[in-house]
A = this chain, B = another copy of it.
């Protein structure tokens, strides 16, 4: 069974972006790039929430390279808008697939297929539905030393408690906490 990792950067007060989607506060360094590149080698599928994907598109990025990018959208209207935006690009991006079916059902099947790891990249709401369906195996965070005060939350309210086991905690230059937790079952 493929491992599903929730992998994100967050503020200490549980936000992944400012209210307007802004991520100017995100820290990037050689150290982060190295950890990220090493991790990305272990995955070949990315799960992205529609709102997060809108943010990517706004920055001119249609996919993360080297992996299949699955974009989840429950709203038919937003989905059609996404498809139009993608179709308007000069070159179609074959790495992107828009998923219209239920995220939990889709990911449950994806986990059973052969392949490398799967990472949930952005989308607190997507993470919530996958946690509630017990489909997330690992949580990898880069906790930034900041209280944003407001923004788009990482962890949303969930039906159940998820017990974790700390696997690793590394302090990066600048006081960033690179933590890895395994979901206990």
Contact = CB atoms under 8 A, between A and B. Distances in A.
A148 B131 CA distance: 12
Identical copies of this chain, number: 2
Interface residues of A, number: 31
Contact of A177 (B14, B25, B131, B169): B169
A159 B166 contact: no
Contacts of A25: 161
A169 B171 contact: yes
A181 B145 contact: yes
A100 B25 CA distance: 38
A165 interface: yes
A133 interface: no
Interface stretch (A34-42, A56-64, A65-73, A150-158): A150-158
Contacts of A165: 145, 175
Nearest to A163: B146
A147 B162 contact: yes
Contacts of A171: 166, 169
Interface string A9-27: 0001110000000000100
Contact of A169 (B14, B160, B164, B169): B169
Interface of A: 12-14, 25, 131, 139, 145-150, 154-155, 157-166, 169, 171, 175-177, 179, 181
